[in-house]
């Protein structure tokens, strides 16, 4: 399989890279900051035949264009396209709830978590269309569920992931006739920089579960909202 993954320098993205390489898939791993990819370089040393590293700032139109051209020099198709890159906030520790909200935070979080993934799909669509049973996986959050919302947590983050869910649904409807599966996928509460040290899951568990879900998807699943264990979640 040919797998494209954004945001792979740490956390869930890095674990996606490790597990897909372990089973012998070709992986295109993107990163934003070249000074923060020592783990990827270590992996590259032992997987030069399977791993390609691509610099990509998902919030930059110019960077997306450059990455697209570079990817086309490696692959003529993509089977699994994983929008994993995301942020928890726009940078201010006082911008999460009422009394501290501000435009800059909300705009940055929406741009990276919701807008960038759908624009990336648009940019790379010709490669995805030529994939083998192509799947677009948008890494979302259980916190995006309006039905289950019962606590206040980071307005911009929760709302951006809800927007990503809607983009996923719209993409699933438009791309169904092309045979492309699209889902938003909740990774569970995992021990990452975003999830915190007390999360119940380790990245290895989360990614192993998500890969099983991704492998099992059929066109009938397109447009549904799943978690890492394959449970369908309410919108």
pLDDT recorded at residue 199: 75
In the predicted model, is pLDDT for residue 67 greater than 80? yes
Is 170 within a domain? yes
The torsion angles phi and psi of 176, rounded to 5 degrees, stand at -55, -45
Contact between 155 and 88 (Cβ < 8 Å): no
82 beta partners: 5, 137
Give the residue among 23, 31, 42 at the shortest CA–CA distance from 5: 31
Let me know if residue 235 belongs to a domain: no
Average per-residue pLDDT in the chain? Answer: 94
Q: 78 lies in a domain?
A: yes
Q: Taking Cα atoms as reference points, which of 184, 181, 180 lies closest to residue 160?
A: 184
SS3 label, residue 232 = strand
Helices assigned H by DSSP within 75-115: 103-110
Question: What span, in angstroms and rounded, lies between the C-alpha atoms of 184 and 214?
Answer: 11
The pLDDT, as a whole number, for residue 195 is 67
Q: Is residue 233 part of a domain?
A: no
- Flag whether 127 is in a domain: yes
Give the domain CATH number at 180.
Answer: 3.40.50.720
Tokens of 189: 């509460």
* Digit-coded pLDDT (tens) for 122-156: 999 999 999 999 999 999 999 999 999 998 888 99
CA distances in angstroms from 176 to 139, 209, 222, 225, listed in the order given? 19, 24, 8, 16
Say how far apart CA 18 and CA 182 lie, in whole Å: 23
DSSP 190: B
Q: Strands (DSSP E) along 112-207, which ranges?
A: 135-139, 181-186
Candidate from 108-112, 128-132, 177-181, 191-195 with smallest mean pLDDT: 191-195
Q: With cut-offs at 50, 70 and 90, classify the pLDDT of residue 48.
A: very high
For the chain, how many structural domains are there in total? 1
3-state SS class at 201? strand
234 lies in a domain?
Answer: no
pLDDT at position 192:
76
For 23, residues 6+ apart whose C-beta sits below 8 A from its C-beta are none
Name the 3-class secondary structure at 183: strand
Domain coverage including residue 105: 2-227
Q: Which pLDDT score, from 0 to 100, does residue 124 have?
A: 98
Per the model's pLDDT, the better-predicted residue between 226 and 198 turns out to be 226
Confidence tier at 97 by pLDDT (50, 70, 90)? confident
Of 25-34, 45-54, 90-99, least confident by mean pLDDT is 90-99
Helix, strand or coil, per DSSP, at residue 41? helix
* In the predicted structure, residue 198 carries a pLDDT above the cut 80: no
In a domain, 19, yes or no: yes
pTM: 0.96
pLDDT at 171 over 80: yes
CA distance 158 to 110: 10
Position 229 pLDDT exceeds 90: yes
With respect to residue 103, please indicate whether it lies within any of the assigned structural domains: yes
């Amino acid at each position: 399989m040919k797998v494209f993954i954004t945001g792979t320098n740490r956390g869930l993205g890095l674990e996606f890279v490790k597990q897909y390489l372990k089973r012998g898939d070709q992986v295109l791993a993107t990163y934003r900051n070249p000074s923060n990819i020592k783990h990827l370089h270590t992996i590259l040393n032992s997987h030069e035949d399977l791993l390609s590293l691509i610099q990509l700032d998902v919030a930059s139109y110019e960077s997306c264009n450059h990455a697209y051209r570079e990817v086309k020099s490696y692959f003529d198709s993509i089977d699994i396209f994983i929008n994993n890159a995301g942020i928890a906030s726009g940078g201010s520790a006082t911008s999460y709830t009422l009394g501290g909200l501000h435009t800059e935070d909300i705009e940055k979080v929406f741009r990276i978590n919701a807008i960038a993934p759908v624009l990336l799909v648009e940019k790379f669509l010709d490669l995805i269309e030529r994939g083998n049973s192509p799947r677009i996986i948008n890494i979302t959050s259980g916190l995006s569920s309006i039905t289950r919302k019962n606590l206040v947590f980071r307005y911009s983050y929760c709302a951006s992931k809800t927007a990503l869910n809607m983009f996923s649904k719209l993409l699933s409807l438009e791309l169904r006739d092309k045979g492309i599966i699209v889902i938003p996928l909740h990774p569970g509460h995992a021990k990452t920089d975003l999830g915190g040290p007390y999360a119940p899951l380790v990245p290895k568990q989360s990614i192993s579960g998500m890969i099983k879900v991704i492998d099992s998807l059929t066109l009938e699943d397109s447009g549904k909202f799943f978690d890492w264990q394959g449970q369908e979640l309410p919108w």
